[in-house]
Structure 1
C-alpha cells in the first residue's frame, strides 16, 4: 500500500506542477499572453473566495505581500479588480470587477475545453467518476472552501 500511495503522491505532484504549465502552453488565445499564470490564479482566488484582503491573497498564493501588491496593481490598471474598505476601516478588500469575472469565466471555459479534448476518448466515464470522488475526498480533507 505504501508504494501505491507514494506513486499516487508523485503523480499528483507531477500533474499539479507540470500539468498546469502544459495546459497553459497548449492553450490558445490572447489571455494567456496578456496575463501571467500568477495573475490568473489571483483572479481565480477572488472568484472562489470573494472580497479578500491582499494579505490573505499573498498567503493563499504562498508569496510575500509585495508580490501580490505588484500583481494587484497591474490587475487594477486593467480594470479587473478593485479595492474597497472592509468592515474594519483599516482593512482593504480586493474584489473582482464585472470585467474580471468575465475574464475568469473565459479562462475557465478555455481550460475546460482543452482538458475535455485531451481526455476525450482516452478516459471513460467510470474513470472520471472515480477521479471526481477521489478529489472530492481530498478537497474535504484539505477543508478547501471552508475558509
Structure 2
C-alpha cells in the first residue's frame, strides 16, 4: 500500500503541475493577464474558508507573511478583497472577498472549467469521472476532518 500511496501522491502533484501549466499557457482571458495565479488563489482560499487573517492566508498558501501582504495590498487596491479589524481582536485584520472579487473568481473558474472540459472531452467517460469525483470527495472529507 505504501508504494501505491506514494505513486498516488506523485501523480497528484504532477497533475497539479501539468494542469496549472496547461491553464496558464492556454487561457487567453483578460482576467489572467490582470491578476497573477497567486492572486486568484487568494480569492479561491477566501471563497473556501471565508474571512481570514493575513497570517492564516500565508499559512494556507505556504508563503511568508510579506508575500501575502504584497498580494493583499494589490487586491485591496483593485477592490477584490477588503480588510477590516476583527471585532474580537482589534490587533488583527480580517480579509474577505468583495462582490467584485467574487465576479473575478467566477470568471476565472468558468474559463478554467471550459479549458479542462475541451481538453478532456471524449477522453474521459462518465464512469471514470464518477470514480474521480467519489475519490476526491472522500479525500476532501478526510482533509477537512483532519483540520478540525
Write the deviation string for residues 12-70 of structure 1: whole angstroms up to 9, x where unpaired.
11011231122121111111111111111001111111111111000000001000000
2:114 matched residue in structure 1: 113
Query: Is there any run of 5+ residues in structure 1 with no aligned partner, and where?
Result: none
2:75 matched residue in structure 1: 75
Counterpart check, 1:23 vs 2:26: no
2:36 matched residue in structure 1: 36
TM-score with structure 1 length normalisation?
Answer: 0.92
Deviation at 1:89, TM superposition (A): 1.6
Write the deviation string for residues 72-126 of structure 1: whole angstroms up to 9, x where unpaired.
0011111111111112122110111111110011111111111111111110000
TM-score with structure 2 length normalisation?
Answer: 0.92
Runs of 4+ in 1 over 6 A off after TM superposition: none
The answer to whether the 8 A contact 1:83-1:94 is kept is yes
Using the alignment, how far apart are the partners of 1:134 and 1:63 within structure 2?
28
Deviation at 1:144, TM superposition (A): 7.0
The answer to whether the 8 A contact 1:42-1:57 is kept is yes
1:137 matched residue in structure 2: 138
Query: Is there any run of 5+ residues in structure 2 with no aligned partner, and where?
Result: none
Q: How many residues align?
A: 147
3-state SS in 1 of match to 2:79: coil
Structural RMSD (CA): 1.7
The answer to whether the 8 A contact 1:49-1:145 is kept is no
